[in-house]
Amino acid sequence: DPLAEPDSAVRPSTKRAQVKLMLSELIDSKLRAGDAIDSERSLVRRLGVSRVTVRQAISDLVADGRLERVHGKGTYVTGPRVDSRLHLTSFSREMRARGLEPGTRVLDAGEMDAPPHVANGLGIATGDRVVRVERLRTADGTPMAHELGYYPCLQFPGLLGKELGSLYDIFASDYGVIATSGEQSVFAGAADSNHARLLGVPKRAPLLVQERVTWAGERAIEYATSWYRGDRYRIHMAVTPHG
Ligand code: 16G
């Protein structure tokens, strides 16, 4: 019975916590992202605990984001999360800083009259022309985020004719525009069928939705919404005393 021989003095007291710790050690030492863990049945047999206990321990690890259940298939070790600091940075830079190769698939790009919410965010008049860019962002080929951004035509003439990889790089190199500040909000969302398909996650999987207005000095240059995979991101922020 592997649970009967504690290898350290601080062994959790409940069977559920013991099985959780054991599985988590197994994940750290022997398994990699994408590997399946043994079936419940075989864990029950190997560990000599009840199926309920195994199920609870697995649920705890799913809740912690270490495992994910794929319906009808099994339970898998999740990939590492990108710890996103709430700094003003671009997707491309954030990924490169982590040794991941950023990628972009332009899903749609065109010019349009700014709808009211976009005009409002950018501080321009409704109907002013904006470029709308919809992109799928990848890291080492894995879909990470779906981004939809609006950019004032007045500030970025000819933007549509460019290769829309890193927008912030284009803004800097081709327009001399550097993002200097932003207002961002983060809220929870769930994948609809479109996001599920684009991001390769199950329908209703949790997403982190981020809305942001980005400024270059006094001018708003971007109104963007990003849908980040909830299983690949953690938003990290430094907190300081208020007032
Ligand atoms: C980030 C921004 C997005 C911006 C993009 C530029 C958030 C939530 N979103 O993903 O608004 O358009 O970076 O990255 O931070 P790029 O230079 O790689 O296109």
Residue 182 CA to ligand 1 centre (angstroms) = 11
Pairing mode, strands 82-85 and 233-236:
parallel
Residues 61 and 150 placed together within one structural domain of the fold: no
Residues 146 and 186 placed together within one structural domain of the fold: yes
CB burial of residue 161 (10 Å; 0-12, 13-18, 19+): exposed
| Strand, helix or coil for residue 65 | coil
> ipTM score of the complex?
0.96
| Strand, helix or coil for residue 192 | coil
Residues 90 and 72 placed together within one structural domain of the fold: no
Whether 243 is covered by a domain: the verdict is no
Q: Which atom of ligand 1 is nearest to the CA of 211?
A: 8
The residue from 77, 107, 135 where one domain ends is 77
Residues 93 and 71 placed together within one structural domain of the fold: no
Q: Identify the pLDDT of residue 2.
A: 52
CB neighbours of residue 48 within 10 Å: 12
Regions of the chain with pLDDT less than 70? 1-10, 83-86, 243
The best mutation among 89, 90, 221 to test binding of ligand 1, ranked by most ligand atoms within 8 Å of the C-beta, falls on: 90
Residue 84 CA to ligand 1 centre (angstroms) = 12
Residues 22 and 90 placed together within one structural domain of the fold: no
Residues 89 and 70 placed together within one structural domain of the fold: no
Strand partners, 48: none
Place of tokens 């830079």: 93
The best mutation among 95, 147, 228 to test binding of ligand 1, ranked by most ligand atoms within 8 Å of the C-beta, falls on: 147
Residue 91 CA to ligand 1 centre (angstroms) = 5
Place of tokens 């997403």: 207
Whether 36 is covered by a domain: the verdict is yes
* Ligand 1 close to Cβ of residue 149 (< 6 A): yes
Pairing mode, strands 74-77 and 67-70:
antiparallel
Interatomic CA distance for residues 162 and 172, integer angstroms: 13
Q: Identify the pLDDT of residue 11.
A: 73
Q: Identify the pLDDT of residue 73.
A: 84
Whether 241 is covered by a domain: the verdict is no
Residue nearest to atom 6 of ligand 1 (CA): 90
* Ligand 1 close to Cβ of residue 224 (< 6 A): yes
| Strand, helix or coil for residue 96 | helix
Residue nearest to atom 11 of ligand 1 (CA): 224
38: CATH: 1.10.10.10
Residues 62 and 103 placed together within one structural domain of the fold: no
Supply the range of the domain harboring residue 149.
82-236
Residues 90 and 159 placed together within one structural domain of the fold: yes
Residue 145 CA to ligand 1 centre (angstroms) = 10
Distance from first CA to last CA of the chain, Å, rounded?
56
Residues 231 and 134 placed together within one structural domain of the fold: yes
The best mutation among 168, 187, 223 to test binding of ligand 1, ranked by most ligand atoms within 8 Å of the C-beta, falls on: 168
Q: What is the DSSP letter of 217?
A: T
Residues 147 and 192 placed together within one structural domain of the fold: yes
* Ligand 1 close to Cβ of residue 226 (< 6 A): yes
* Ligand 1 close to Cβ of residue 61 (< 6 A): no
* Ligand 1 close to Cβ of residue 150 (< 6 A): no
